[in-house]
Amino acid sequence: MYPAAMRNTPPPQRERIFFGYVATVCVVAVVITALALPDLQHHIGRSMDVYWVLAGFAVIGDARPVTTPGGRSSMMVFPSICFTFAILLMWGFAAAVVVQTAAVIVSSTQLRHRLWRAAFNASQYAVSFGAASLVLKMSSGQPFAPGGEPGWVDVIVAVAAASVWFVVNYALVTAAVGLRFGGSWWQIMRRSIAFDALTTGSLLLLAPVLVGAERASAALIPLIIVPLIAVNRMARLATEQDRVAKTDPLTALANRTALMSEVADQAAVCTQRAATDGNDHHFALLVLDIDRFKYVNDALGHEVGDRLLVEIGRRLERAVGDENLVARLGGDEFAVVAPAIETLSDARDIAGRISVILSVPVVLDGLSLDVGGSIGIAMYPAHGGDFATLMRHADVAMYDAKMRGDAVAVYAPEADHNSPARLSLLADLRGALVTPESTEVAFYYQPQVEMASGEVVGVEALLRWHHPEHGLIDPEELIRVAEHSGVMRLLTLRVIDDVIAQLAKWRANGLTLRASINVSVRDLHTGEIVDRLADRLAHHQIAPEQLQLEITEGALMADPRRVLTTLQRLDKVGIALSLDDFGTGYSSMQHLRRLPLAEVKIDRSFVLGMVNDSDDEAIVRSIIELAGALGLRVVAEGVEDDRTRRLLLAAGCHVAQGWFYARPMPADELVGWLGRYRPPQQLDWPVAG
Ligand code: C2E
Ligand code: CA
Ligand code: CA
């Protein structure tokens, strides 16, 4: 047996040690063989015909070696050892080594092994045979030699010799794997020792039986083939079983189980290397989620979805290369373990290669499918020391990438919605929301102005939370945290209650305004929000037209089908819908047309830049045109100066919101502000670009 599969390439220093080891084993083998060769003639003199039969079987037997289950350091079992061990028993060390070397030459040629590897394998066997032959010397004379009569003691000595052979051989291979790939030798050894002991042990112990059979008649030798086939078959079945247990049936990639053991292996390798050279060693776990896969599956059927996954799997393997392991976690989630990296930027490079290869549309049945995906990266050991932690953190990063509309994100503890700081913040927010007398949570209102007339037509309600210890909490950050928790629901119910009650208060002061509230797309997964809105509107007798919901484009477009029912119900109730942060996600024309939308809000990043950046200005202009063509109202937010206002007005924008008019303010201040408000001077001459 010797190492079968080899993946990542070792660094130069370890390579030198490894080849030094290989050379040493070879030299030892050559020396002991050279010393024993003179005896060869003397031993083989007897029963030459049987010797040739056994030698023939040994060489032919290695034509189909079996790889044992053991992952990266799996071993190979060669049936030849049954015959060569019998030769050892009958004719001694030199005779066995000659035949074994011939068998290794045949199998190495067939398996296209490098020269050094073939030399190591031949030498490793020679050393094992040398050790076994020392044990055999304990018997008096040569009881197994042709004409000898082995007794009980001799058989026990033979079993001891076989055991020594196995131990020496196993140790030599384990040392080779350990030196080449690093990692704990104990782990390497443990991986398949039971299996190897059984298969190799059966082969070795068949040898004395073979000798006994020959004693009766050389014609019995071929009968040994049947048990050998059985051993071979058993080994193959075990290997196949192991392969199936670690393979994703659809894509033939590694599955979660295989990924788990690869991560454990790599962690052990890093620990071992760190212990040897005192440096930190890293590897990366990348988790990838395919964008819009659900559409393909829903619209084109599972069969097409499956083929898409297979193609993506193929592309991933091509993108990351042999040294990295690609696994499918299930659904449209994939993962990559990248062991051969030294820095985070290496991991980013791999993620970048994946993004590039995913950006090429997949053509299935003449249909061109745009896939793309979001990738999260977690590094060992900085972001986790075990599979579960690394997985969770890579997942958090991936989700973060998705939310931000980026292709790649590296795990950052701040982005972890489960970090202790976040959990305690969430608990505080929950406390504030469920305590009716708490004034920590409030809503500020920012006016929205109709551009043509300069009149205030509405307000947007914006969350403000004054934390008793941390002060004012950034709402954007807070929403990102809350969105993944049950607190979001409480917050949304609170917005609805507060804002509708506020509309009633303003009405009592003679003020009728439209208020926009922000909701998370998750709020729309159930119909609860519609019931609550309808209930509160009826309670305060506010017209549904006075309320509007804002949903961010990225979140809505990620899965519009899921919220369609709720959106249609809202539409029926008469509550309008606004697509917030427009331009930052990707909306298809189809969705813009099919969803019951009343307005789009151009993302403030474009508006803020439009005065100085002609690209931003072009984007704003085309959004206004597009929305106009679809019959949607366009609101520009982030209007900070008069120049921007004029540009927007000239471009035909309907409504503007921003610091140029007013910052978000408490509800009580709004009435006073409205009293002081004077519409800006209207545009009566053309504005130069
Ligand atoms: P958004 O919905 O895009 O809200 C507009 C943001 O732009 C507000 O930030 C507002 O203060 C800011 N803004 C308004 N005019 C200007 C301007 O002229 N210049 C600049 N630079 N910024 C301006 P804010 O209040 O920090 O809110 C941030 C985000 O938090 C909101 O973005 C919204 O996504 C979320 N959010 C706020 N309140 C709620 C809420 O009650 N529920 C939900 N689900 N999300 C909320
Ligand atoms: Ca908004
Ligand atoms: Ca916005």
**Is there a single domain that holds both residue 165 and residue 288?**
no
Q: For residue 149, name the pLDDT band (cuts at 50, 70, 90).
A: confident
The two counts, helices (H) then strands (E), for the chain are 24, 19
| C-beta 581 within 6 A of ligand 1 | yes
**Is there a single domain that holds both residue 402 and residue 493?**
no
Q: For residue 664, name the pLDDT band (cuts at 50, 70, 90).
A: very high
| C-beta 516 within 6 A of ligand 1 | no
Residue 398 domain flag: yes
**Is there a single domain that holds both residue 196 and residue 282?**
no
| C-beta 604 within 6 A of ligand 1 | yes
| C-beta 664 within 6 A of ligand 1 | yes
pLDDT in tens, 16-40: 889 999 999 999 999 999 988 877 7
pLDDT at site 42 = 65
Out of 5-14, 80-89, 112-121, 541-550, which region has the weakest mean confidence (pLDDT)? 5-14
Residue 423 domain flag: no
What CATH number does the domain containing 134 carry? 1.10.1760
Which residues are placed with Cβ below 5 angstroms of ligand 2, an ion?
Answer: 518, 550, 580
pLDDT at site 553 = 85
Residue 223 has pLDDT above 90, yes or no: no
- What three-state secondary structure class fits 449? strand
pLDDT at site 215 = 79
Residue 689 has pLDDT above 50, yes or no: no
The residue nearest atom 32 of ligand 1, judged by CA position, is 476
Cα distances (Å, whole numbers) of residue 280 to 272, 274, 321, 538? 10, 6, 24, 64
Residue 420 has pLDDT above 80, yes or no: no
User: Which residue of 440, 637, 641, 644 sits with most ligand 1 atoms within 8 Å of its CB, as the best mutation to test the pocket?
Assistant: 637
**Total number of domains in the chain:** 3
Give 636 or 211, the one with higher predicted confidence.
Answer: 636
Residue 236 domain flag: yes
Residue 36 to residue 611: CA distance in whole angstroms: 91
| C-beta 191 within 6 A of ligand 1 | no
pLDDT at site 63 = 65
Residue 424 has pLDDT above 70, yes or no: yes
Residue 430 domain flag: no
Residue 674 has pLDDT above 70, yes or no: yes
Domain extent for 325: 256-415
pLDDT in tens, 539-571: 999 999 999 999 988 778 777 877 889 999 999
Instruction: Return the closest-CA partner of residue 265 out of 252, 281, 251, 248.
Output: 281
Residue 90 to residue 146: CA distance in whole angstroms: 6
pLDDT at site 358 = 87
| C-beta 446 within 6 A of ligand 1 | yes
Nearest atom of ligand 1 to the alpha carbon of 523? 44
User: Which residue of 448, 462, 522, 551 sits with most ligand 1 atoms within 8 Å of its CB, as the best mutation to test the pocket?
Assistant: 462
Share of residues in the chain with pLDDT > 70 (%)? 92
Cα 521 to averaged position of ligand 3 atoms, centre (Å): 14
Q: For residue 643, name the pLDDT band (cuts at 50, 70, 90).
A: very high
Structure tokens at 47: 């029963």
Q: Under a CB-based contact definition with an 8 Å cutoff, are residues 664 and 445 in contact?
A: yes
| C-beta 448 within 6 A of ligand 1 | no
Ligand that comes closest to the CA of residue 584 = 3
Instruction: Count Cα neighbours of 149 within 13 Å in the Cβ-side half-sphere.
Output: 0
Cα 419 to averaged position of ligand 2 atoms, centre (Å): 27
Beta pairing partners, 380: 283
Structure tokens at 65: 């070696």
pLDDT in tens, 480-514: 778 877 789 999 999 999 999 999 999 999 999 99
**Is there a single domain that holds both residue 323 and residue 224?**
no
| C-beta 482 within 6 A of ligand 1 | no
pLDDT at site 7 = 44
**Is there a single domain that holds both residue 482 and residue 628?**
yes
What CATH number does the domain containing 355 carry? 3.30.70.270
**Is there a single domain that holds both residue 273 and residue 203?**
no
Residue 433 domain flag: no
Give 330 or 567, the one with higher predicted confidence.
Answer: 567
pLDDT at site 263 = 94
pLDDT in tens, 425-472: 888 999 999 888 889 999 999 999 999 999 999 999 999 999 998 889
Beta strands in 291-434 (DSSP E): 325-330, 333-338, 362-364, 367-369, 373-380, 408-410
Out of 68-82, 324-338, 373-387, which region has the weakest mean confidence (pLDDT)? 68-82
Residue 287 domain flag: yes
Q: What are phi and psi of 376, to 5 degrees?
A: -110, 140
Among 245, 271, 288, the domain-final residue is: 245
Residue 687 domain flag: no
Cα 52 to averaged position of ligand 3 atoms, centre (Å): 86
**Is there a single domain that holds both residue 241 and residue 308?**
no
Among 201, 226, 245, the domain-final residue is: 245
Ligand that comes closest to the CA of residue 516 = 2
Residue 426 domain flag: no
Mean per-residue pLDDT, 587-592: 77
The residue nearest atom 19 of ligand 1, judged by CA position, is 638
Instruction: Return the closest-CA partner of residue 325 out of 242, 411, 408, 248.
Output: 248
pLDDT in tens, 230-287: 877 887 888 788 888 899 999 999 999 999 999 998 898 888 778 777 888 899 999 9
What CATH number does the domain containing 447 carry? 3.20.20.450
Give 139 or 352, the one with higher predicted confidence.
Answer: 352
**Is there a single domain that holds both residue 359 and residue 472?**
no
The residue nearest atom 33 of ligand 1, judged by CA position, is 476
pLDDT at site 39 = 73
Q: How high is the mean pLDDT of the chain?
A: 86
**Is there a single domain that holds both residue 399 and residue 449?**
no
Among 415, 449, 473, the domain-final residue is: 415
Q: For residue 4, name the pLDDT band (cuts at 50, 70, 90).
A: very low
**Is there a single domain that holds both residue 268 and residue 186?**
no
**Is there a single domain that holds both residue 331 and residue 231?**
no
| C-beta 214 within 6 A of ligand 1 | no
| C-beta 475 within 6 A of ligand 1 | yes
The residue nearest atom 29 of ligand 1, judged by CA position, is 476
Q: Which of 121-130, 267-276, 316-325, 413-422 has the highest mean pLDDT?
A: 121-130
**Is there a single domain that holds both residue 93 and residue 237?**
yes
The residue nearest atom 20 of ligand 1, judged by CA position, is 638
pLDDT at site 2 = 43
Mean per-residue pLDDT, 579-589: 83
